[in-house]
Amino acid sequence: MLLRTLTRANLPYILARLSGCCLLVVSFVGCAQPDEYLQVGDTIIYAHTIDNIAEKLQHSFPEYGESTLRSHILMNGLAEAEILHQSHAEASEEAFQRLAAILDKYRKYNPSALLEAELKDLTHQKKMAAPTPSQLGTGVAAAVAILEDGEWSPPIYNATGWSIVFLNTREYGQRSTAGVDVDVFQIEIADATIYSANRQQWQYAPLLGSDKLISCLPYEFRNKTSRE
């Protein structure tokens, strides 16, 4: 059974969670608006969305404080992902439903079975050994950080669409993504022109919202003069 709360533009998508046979995506729909948020154009990114990922990445960055980890997450994919999914909500929902159905069908198999299916709308990133969180994107890295060997992640939104990840192996004692071997499958929801425009918007559009969130970003990035 697939359960998902209704999503709309300008409301945050957050990581899917796998619970038994049910795939559940939690969002902030219906909850009080948090005080901390960052706004880029029409896109609103709430602190809770960032901190949900940060909690899973603490194993990878134990030396990072709250502000540094929030900055790392925003600068390595989350902001661009939020811009994409909030501005392409219908395409995002369709891709999520498609990927969730694929996962439901293949969750008991390894990646070779999914590759043999040759699904046209699903791209496969070659098996990555010892990737960095920046290579995976922070959302995918956070999902991988809590997987065990032989497990699939739930669908994870990113700067180009939705992904599922299979953890082949993790080095003993390592929770960091630096010690993993993974297969990544992706459904994209737009094209390179859109992704480039989103990147430009994140890099140059005025930043609004909570001072605490804005101040965690690198000075050169948030400084108005450098962004003009």
- Domain map (residue ranges) of the chain: 34-227
Q: Specify the higher pLDDT residue, 169 or 225.
A: 169
Which tens digit of pLDDT belongs to each residue from 59-69? 667 778 889 98
- At 175 the pLDDT is 60
- At 112 the pLDDT is 92
Q: Does 12 have pLDDT greater than 60?
A: no
195: confidence class by pLDDT, cuts 50, 70, 90: very high
Provide CB contacts within 8 A for 21, sequence distance 6+.
Answer: 1
Spacing of C-alpha 159 from chain mean position: 7
Contact present, 42 and 24 (Cβ < 8 Å): no
Exposed/middle/buried for residue 81 (C-beta within 10 Å: 0-12, 13-18, 19+) = buried
Cβ neighbour number for residue 151 with a 10 Å cutoff = 15
- At 17 the pLDDT is 32
**DSSP class per residue in 151-198:** -BPPPEE-SSEEEEEEEEEE-TT--SGGGEEEEEEEEE-S-HHHHHHH
- At 57 the pLDDT is 79
Which tens digit of pLDDT belongs to each residue from 128-156? 666 666 677 888 888 888 888 999 999 99
Lowest mean pLDDT among 74-88, 143-157, 169-183: 169-183
Q: Give me 222's structure tokens.
A: 């948030």
Lowest mean pLDDT among 2-6, 13-17, 87-91: 2-6
